[in-house]
Structure 1
Amino acid sequence: MVPLDITPKNIEGTRHKLKRLVGRGILAETEPGLFTQPRP
């Protein structure tokens, strides 16, 4: 895994990927910006 620099571009890209996983039901967003695995 390649470490990413903390820049707005990288943060927004990561946030977009996490939101996509929430939409697919793989993750849950319990609070704004806090992502976890959904409970069964």
Structure 2
Amino acid sequence: MAVFAEADAPLRGRNVCGAMDLDLMPNNINNVRIKLKRLTGRGILAETEPGLFTRPRP
């Protein structure tokens, strides 16, 4: 969530991996993307466009 607090624009899974210092391997990117989708389903994040995630607007 700290990554999204500092971001000024929606982020992709690849960007989140880079910010978390994970290797940009397809498996890591896919795992992060799955977690972002799960957070979107719970209302913690919002998906503005397919693959773009951000904090929801109040």
Q: With structure 1 as the length reference, what TM-score do the two structures score?
A: 0.86
Q: Which of 2, 12, 30 is equivalent to 2:48? A: 30
- Bigger relative contact order, structure 1 or 2 (CA pairs below 8 A, ≥6 apart): 2
Higher helix residue share = 2
> Unpaired runs of 5+ in structure 1?
none
> Unpaired runs of 5+ in structure 2?
1-19
- Name the count of aligned residue pairs: 39
Higher strand residue share = 1
Identity %: 72
**Runs of 4+ with deviation above 4 angstroms:** none
- Structure number with larger C-alpha Rg: 1
CA RMSD of aligned residues (A): 1.2
Letter in 2 for 1:32: P
